[in-house]
Protein backbone atom coordinates (compact mmCIF):
# COMPACT_ATOMS: atom_id res chain seq x y z
CA UNK A 1 0.00 0.00 0.00
CA UNK A 2 1.48 3.31 -1.03
CA UNK A 3 2.32 5.73 1.75
CA UNK A 4 0.94 8.66 -0.26
CA UNK A 5 0.91 12.35 0.65
CA UNK A 6 -2.81 13.19 0.87
CA UNK A 7 -4.74 15.29 3.40
CA UNK A 8 -4.96 12.49 5.99
CA UNK A 9 -1.19 12.04 6.01
CA UNK A 10 -0.56 15.76 6.28
CA UNK A 11 -3.02 15.97 9.22
CA UNK A 12 -1.22 13.11 11.01
CA UNK A 13 2.11 14.87 10.44
CA UNK A 14 0.74 18.15 11.87
CA UNK A 15 -0.65 16.39 14.94
CA UNK A 16 2.67 14.67 15.47
CA UNK A 17 4.52 17.98 15.25
CA UNK A 18 2.05 19.63 17.62
CA UNK A 19 2.55 16.83 20.09
CA UNK A 20 6.31 17.17 19.87
CA UNK A 21 6.10 20.89 20.54
CA UNK A 22 3.58 20.67 23.32
CA UNK A 23 6.30 20.29 25.93
CA UNK A 24 8.45 23.20 24.70
CA UNK A 25 6.78 26.60 24.49
CA UNK A 26 8.59 29.01 22.16
CA UNK A 27 10.06 32.04 23.96
CA UNK A 28 7.62 34.35 22.19
CA UNK A 29 4.69 32.43 23.70
CA UNK A 30 6.14 32.03 27.19
CA UNK A 31 4.37 33.76 30.07
CA UNK A 32 5.91 37.15 30.87
CA UNK A 33 7.86 37.39 34.13
CA UNK A 34 5.87 38.40 37.19
CA UNK A 35 6.05 42.17 37.73
CA UNK A 36 7.86 43.38 40.81
CA UNK A 37 5.38 44.39 43.50
CA UNK A 38 6.31 47.76 44.99
CA UNK A 39 4.38 49.68 47.63
CA UNK A 40 4.95 53.41 48.02
CA UNK A 41 3.91 54.94 51.34
CA UNK A 42 3.79 58.70 50.86
CA UNK A 43 4.59 61.04 53.73
CA UNK A 44 1.27 62.90 53.32
CA UNK A 45 -1.38 63.72 50.73
CA UNK A 46 -2.43 66.91 52.53
CA UNK A 47 -2.42 69.65 49.84
CA UNK A 48 -1.60 72.27 52.47
CA UNK A 49 1.58 70.50 53.53
CA UNK A 50 4.74 71.51 51.66
CA UNK A 51 7.61 69.04 51.58
CA UNK A 52 11.36 69.38 52.16
CA UNK A 53 11.20 73.14 52.64
CA UNK A 54 10.00 73.60 49.04
CA UNK A 55 6.69 74.34 47.34
CA UNK A 56 6.05 70.71 46.37
CA UNK A 57 3.19 68.67 47.83
CA UNK A 58 2.75 64.96 48.37
CA UNK A 59 0.49 64.80 45.33
CA UNK A 60 3.41 65.74 43.06
CA UNK A 61 5.53 62.96 44.54
CA UNK A 62 2.73 60.39 44.27
CA UNK A 63 2.07 61.31 40.64
CA UNK A 64 5.74 60.88 39.78
CA UNK A 65 5.64 57.32 41.14
CA UNK A 66 2.45 56.47 39.25
CA UNK A 67 3.91 57.77 35.99
CA UNK A 68 7.35 56.22 36.45
CA UNK A 69 5.80 52.81 37.14
CA UNK A 70 4.44 52.74 33.59
CA UNK A 71 7.98 52.44 32.25
CA UNK A 72 9.08 49.62 34.53
CA UNK A 73 8.09 46.00 35.24
CA UNK A 74 6.40 47.18 38.42
CA UNK A 75 3.01 46.63 40.02
CA UNK A 76 2.57 49.68 42.23
CA UNK A 77 0.47 50.05 45.38
CA UNK A 78 0.02 53.53 46.86
CA UNK A 79 -0.47 54.50 50.51
CA UNK A 80 -0.84 57.79 52.39
CA UNK A 81 0.79 57.75 55.83
CA UNK A 82 -0.60 61.24 56.59
CA UNK A 83 2.36 61.79 58.94
CA UNK A 84 0.55 59.52 61.42
CA UNK A 85 2.63 56.82 63.18
CA UNK A 86 -0.34 54.48 63.63
CA UNK A 87 -1.34 54.81 59.99
CA UNK A 88 2.24 54.22 58.89
CA UNK A 89 2.27 50.87 60.69
CA UNK A 90 -1.22 49.94 59.43
CA UNK A 91 -0.16 50.63 55.85
CA UNK A 92 2.98 48.55 56.27
CA UNK A 93 0.91 45.64 57.62
CA UNK A 94 -1.40 45.87 54.61
CA UNK A 95 1.57 45.79 52.25
CA UNK A 96 2.86 42.71 54.06
CA UNK A 97 -0.50 40.99 53.54
CA UNK A 98 -0.26 41.86 49.86
CA UNK A 99 3.17 40.21 49.80
CA UNK A 100 4.92 43.14 48.15
CA UNK A 101 8.55 42.73 47.16
CA UNK A 102 9.72 46.22 48.16
CA UNK A 103 8.23 48.83 50.45
CA UNK A 104 9.23 52.44 49.71
CA UNK A 105 8.73 54.62 52.78
CA UNK A 106 8.78 58.42 52.51
CA UNK A 107 9.47 59.11 56.16
CA UNK A 108 9.31 62.09 58.47
CA UNK A 109 10.40 60.53 61.78
CA UNK A 110 13.29 58.13 62.32
CA UNK A 111 11.52 56.46 65.23
CA UNK A 112 8.52 55.63 63.05
CA UNK A 113 10.89 54.45 60.32
CA UNK A 114 12.58 52.09 62.77
CA UNK A 115 9.26 50.57 63.86
CA UNK A 116 8.14 50.03 60.26
CA UNK A 117 11.56 48.65 59.29
CA UNK A 118 11.44 46.10 62.12
CA UNK A 119 7.99 44.84 61.08
CA UNK A 120 8.90 44.62 57.40
CA UNK A 121 12.13 42.81 58.26
CA UNK A 122 10.20 40.21 60.25
CA UNK A 123 7.98 39.64 57.22
CA UNK A 124 10.90 39.44 54.77
CA UNK A 125 9.88 42.57 52.84
CA UNK A 126 12.70 44.75 51.52
CA UNK A 127 12.63 48.41 52.49
CA UNK A 128 13.84 51.55 50.73
CA UNK A 129 13.49 54.88 52.54
CA UNK A 130 13.13 58.45 51.32
CA UNK A 131 14.35 61.55 53.17
CA UNK A 132 14.82 59.93 56.60
CA UNK A 133 17.00 56.86 57.23
CA UNK A 134 15.57 53.52 58.31
CA UNK A 135 17.67 50.70 59.82
CA UNK A 136 19.15 48.46 57.15
CA UNK A 137 17.47 50.26 54.25
CA UNK A 138 19.01 52.17 51.33
CA UNK A 139 18.21 55.88 51.53
CA UNK A 140 17.21 58.34 48.80
CA UNK A 141 17.36 61.96 49.90
CA UNK A 142 17.76 65.59 48.93
CA UNK A 143 21.18 67.11 49.60
CA UNK A 144 20.40 70.46 51.18
CA UNK A 145 24.02 71.47 51.71
CA UNK A 146 24.83 70.94 48.04
CA UNK A 147 21.63 72.65 46.89
CA UNK A 148 22.44 75.66 49.05
CA UNK A 149 26.00 75.82 47.78
CA UNK A 150 24.79 75.76 44.15
CA UNK A 151 22.55 78.75 44.84
CA UNK A 152 25.23 80.67 46.71
CA UNK A 153 27.80 80.08 43.99
CA UNK A 154 25.37 81.29 41.32
CA UNK A 155 24.93 84.57 43.16
CA UNK A 156 28.68 84.90 43.72
CA UNK A 157 29.37 84.36 40.00
CA UNK A 158 26.80 86.98 39.08
CA UNK A 159 28.42 89.51 41.40
CA UNK A 160 31.94 88.76 40.13
CA UNK A 161 30.87 89.06 36.49
CA UNK A 162 28.59 92.09 36.76
CA UNK A 163 29.72 94.09 39.80
CA UNK A 164 33.46 93.38 40.11
CA UNK A 165 34.30 96.77 41.63
CA UNK A 166 31.24 97.27 43.80
CA UNK A 167 30.63 96.62 47.48
CA UNK A 168 28.55 93.49 47.88
CA UNK A 169 26.06 92.68 50.62
CA UNK A 170 24.41 89.27 50.86
CA UNK A 171 21.36 88.12 52.78
CA UNK A 172 19.79 84.70 53.33
CA UNK A 173 16.04 84.99 53.82
CA UNK A 174 13.32 82.44 54.44
CA UNK A 175 11.37 80.40 56.98
CA UNK A 176 12.97 79.39 60.28
CA UNK A 177 14.91 76.15 60.20
CA UNK A 178 13.48 73.03 61.83
CA UNK A 179 14.18 69.30 61.81
CA UNK A 180 11.60 68.69 59.09
CA UNK A 181 12.72 71.15 56.43
CA UNK A 182 16.50 71.00 57.02
CA UNK A 183 16.81 74.65 56.09
CA UNK A 184 19.79 75.07 58.42
CA UNK A 185 21.82 72.77 56.16
CA UNK A 186 20.60 74.70 53.13
CA UNK A 187 21.53 78.05 54.66
CA UNK A 188 24.99 76.81 55.59
CA UNK A 189 25.49 75.63 52.01
CA UNK A 190 24.42 79.02 50.68
CA UNK A 191 26.87 80.78 52.99
CA UNK A 192 29.67 78.52 51.77
CA UNK A 193 28.81 79.30 48.14
CA UNK A 194 28.78 83.04 48.82
CA UNK A 195 32.10 83.06 50.64
CA UNK A 196 34.11 84.40 47.70
CA UNK A 197 32.12 87.66 47.71
CA UNK A 198 30.52 87.83 51.17
CA UNK A 199 32.07 86.29 54.26
CA UNK A 200 29.11 86.69 56.60
CA UNK A 201 25.73 87.01 54.87
CA UNK A 202 22.93 88.46 56.97
CA UNK A 203 20.06 86.13 57.88
CA UNK A 204 16.40 87.16 57.94
CA UNK A 205 13.81 84.68 59.21
CA UNK A 206 10.21 84.98 58.13
CA UNK A 207 7.34 82.53 58.15
CA UNK A 208 4.39 84.87 57.82
CA UNK A 209 4.04 85.21 54.06
CA UNK A 210 4.77 87.94 51.56
CA UNK A 211 3.87 90.88 53.83
CA UNK A 212 6.42 89.80 56.43
CA UNK A 213 9.04 89.32 53.72
CA UNK A 214 8.27 92.78 52.37
CA UNK A 215 8.61 94.48 55.75
CA UNK A 216 11.88 92.77 56.66
CA UNK A 217 13.48 93.10 53.25
CA UNK A 218 12.52 96.76 52.74
CA UNK A 219 14.15 97.59 56.05
CA UNK A 220 17.25 95.66 55.01
CA UNK A 221 17.46 97.34 51.60
CA UNK A 222 16.98 100.79 53.14
CA UNK A 223 19.92 100.08 55.42
CA UNK A 224 22.16 99.13 52.49
CA UNK A 225 21.63 101.92 50.01
CA UNK A 226 24.35 102.27 47.40
CA UNK A 227 25.34 98.61 47.66
CA UNK A 228 24.71 95.68 45.41
CA UNK A 229 22.64 93.07 47.23
CA UNK A 230 22.58 89.31 46.72
CA UNK A 231 19.39 87.70 48.04
CA UNK A 232 19.51 83.96 48.67
CA UNK A 233 15.95 82.81 49.34
CA UNK A 234 15.50 79.50 51.15
CA UNK A 235 12.43 78.64 49.08
CA UNK A 236 10.66 79.83 45.96
CA UNK A 237 7.77 81.54 47.76
CA UNK A 238 10.28 83.76 49.55
CA UNK A 239 12.17 84.41 46.31
CA UNK A 240 8.99 85.58 44.57
CA UNK A 241 8.01 87.77 47.52
CA UNK A 242 11.53 89.25 47.55
CA UNK A 243 11.26 90.07 43.85
CA UNK A 244 8.02 91.96 44.47
CA UNK A 245 9.68 93.93 47.26
CA UNK A 246 12.70 94.82 45.13
CA UNK A 247 10.44 95.86 42.25
CA UNK A 248 8.38 98.02 44.60
CA UNK A 249 11.50 99.65 46.02
CA UNK A 250 12.92 100.38 42.57
CA UNK A 251 16.15 98.52 43.35
CA UNK A 252 16.15 96.15 40.36
CA UNK A 253 19.56 97.31 39.14
CA UNK A 254 21.13 96.61 42.53
CA UNK A 255 19.79 93.14 43.32
CA UNK A 256 20.06 89.50 42.23
CA UNK A 257 17.92 86.70 43.68
CA UNK A 258 18.17 82.90 43.65
CA UNK A 259 15.45 80.59 45.00
CA UNK A 260 15.40 76.98 46.16
CA UNK A 261 13.05 74.19 45.09
CA UNK A 262 12.03 75.14 41.55
CA UNK A 263 8.39 74.17 41.75
CA UNK A 264 5.76 75.26 39.23
CA UNK A 265 5.61 78.76 40.66
CA UNK A 266 9.04 79.21 39.08
CA UNK A 267 9.21 77.12 35.92
CA UNK A 268 5.50 77.29 35.06
CA UNK A 269 5.49 73.92 33.23
CA UNK A 270 2.25 73.86 31.23
CA UNK A 271 1.00 77.23 32.50
CA UNK A 272 1.37 80.47 30.59
CA UNK A 273 3.17 82.29 33.42
CA UNK A 274 6.82 81.30 33.61
CA UNK A 275 9.26 83.40 35.59
CA UNK A 276 12.11 81.19 34.38
CA UNK A 277 11.56 81.65 30.67
CA UNK A 278 14.10 82.11 27.83
CA UNK A 279 12.44 85.45 27.04
CA UNK A 280 12.96 86.63 30.62
CA UNK A 281 16.74 86.45 30.89
CA UNK A 282 16.98 89.95 32.30
CA UNK A 283 15.01 89.04 35.42
CA UNK A 284 16.55 89.83 38.79
CA UNK A 285 15.65 86.24 39.73
CA UNK A 286 18.64 84.41 38.29
CA UNK A 287 17.12 81.00 38.86
CA UNK A 288 16.10 78.39 41.39
CA UNK A 289 17.93 75.27 42.54
CA UNK A 290 15.82 72.27 41.54
CA UNK A 291 14.87 69.63 44.10
CA UNK A 292 12.87 67.55 41.58
CA UNK A 293 10.31 66.16 44.03
CA UNK A 294 8.01 65.90 41.02
CA UNK A 295 10.46 63.33 39.60
CA UNK A 296 11.20 61.28 42.71
CA UNK A 297 9.43 58.26 41.24
CA UNK A 298 11.76 58.21 38.25
CA UNK A 299 14.78 58.16 40.57
CA UNK A 300 13.49 55.85 43.30
CA UNK A 301 11.58 53.11 41.45
CA UNK A 302 14.68 51.89 39.54
CA UNK A 303 16.39 51.54 42.92
CA UNK A 304 13.44 49.49 44.16
CA UNK A 305 13.62 47.24 41.09
CA UNK A 306 17.34 46.71 41.63
CA UNK A 307 16.76 45.94 45.31
CA UNK A 308 14.06 43.39 44.48
CA UNK A 309 16.32 41.78 41.87
CA UNK A 310 19.18 41.31 44.31
CA UNK A 311 21.39 43.88 42.61
CA UNK A 312 23.61 46.20 44.68
CA UNK A 313 22.02 49.48 45.76
CA UNK A 314 24.04 52.29 47.33
CA UNK A 315 23.42 52.98 51.00
CA UNK A 316 22.68 56.62 50.16
CA UNK A 317 21.56 58.14 46.86
CA UNK A 318 21.06 61.90 46.61
CA UNK A 319 19.06 64.12 44.29
CA UNK A 320 21.12 65.61 41.48
CA UNK A 321 20.32 69.24 42.23
CA UNK A 322 20.95 71.83 39.55
CA UNK A 323 20.29 75.51 38.99
CA UNK A 324 17.33 76.12 36.69
CA UNK A 325 17.64 79.45 34.88
CA UNK A 326 15.81 81.17 32.03
CA UNK A 327 18.52 79.78 29.73
CA UNK A 328 17.93 76.10 30.54
CA UNK A 329 14.38 76.05 31.93
CA UNK A 330 12.75 74.80 28.72
CA UNK A 331 15.26 71.97 28.44
CA UNK A 332 14.71 70.77 32.01
CA UNK A 333 11.01 71.67 32.24
CA UNK A 334 9.60 71.95 28.70
CA UNK A 335 6.60 74.29 28.25
CA UNK A 336 4.25 71.30 28.11
CA UNK A 337 3.27 68.81 30.75
CA UNK A 338 6.44 66.73 30.49
CA UNK A 339 4.90 63.82 32.34
User: Where do the structural domains in the chain lie, given as residue ranges?
Assistant: 36-141+295-308, 144-290+324-332
Q: Using DSSP bridges, classify how beta strands 322-324 and 285-290 pair: parallel, antiparallel or unpaired.
A: antiparallel
d(CA 174, CA 235): 7
Contact by Cβ (8 Å): 130, 104: yes
Cα–Cα dist 261/244, whole Å: 18
* Residues 79, 210: Cα–Cα separation, whole Å: 34
Low-confidence ranges of the chain (pLDDT < 70): 1-32, 208, 269-274, 277-280, 336-339
pLDDT for res 14: 36
41-58 pLDDT tens trace: 999 999 999 999 999 999
CA distance 115 to 111: 6
Cite the DSSP H helix spans in the chain. 7-21, 58-69, 85-97, 110-123, 144-162, 183-194, 210-222, 236-249, 264-267, 296-308, 329-332
User: Could you tell me which CATH class the domain 144-290+324-332 is placed in?
Assistant: alpha beta
pTM of the predicted protein model? 0.86
Q: What is the pLDDT of residue 272?
A: 54
pLDDT digits (tens, 9 = 90+) for 206-215: 876 778 899 9
d(C-alpha 200, C-alpha 13), whole Å: 90
Domains 36-141+295-308 and 144-290+324-332 share a fold: yes
- CATH no. for 36-141+295-308: 3.40.50.2300
The residue length of the chain stands at: 339
Number of H helices and E strands in the chain, helices first, is 11, 12
Amino acid sequence: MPTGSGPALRRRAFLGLAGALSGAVPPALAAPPRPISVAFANITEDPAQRLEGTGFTGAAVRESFALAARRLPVELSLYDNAMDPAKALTNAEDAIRRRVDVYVLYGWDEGVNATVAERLGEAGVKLLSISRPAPGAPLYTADNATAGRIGGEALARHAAENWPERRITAVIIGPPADSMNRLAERADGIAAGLKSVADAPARLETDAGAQKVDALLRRFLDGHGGRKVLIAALDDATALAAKDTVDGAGRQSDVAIVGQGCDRSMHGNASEHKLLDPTNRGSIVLGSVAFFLDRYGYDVLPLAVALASGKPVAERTVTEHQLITPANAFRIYPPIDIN
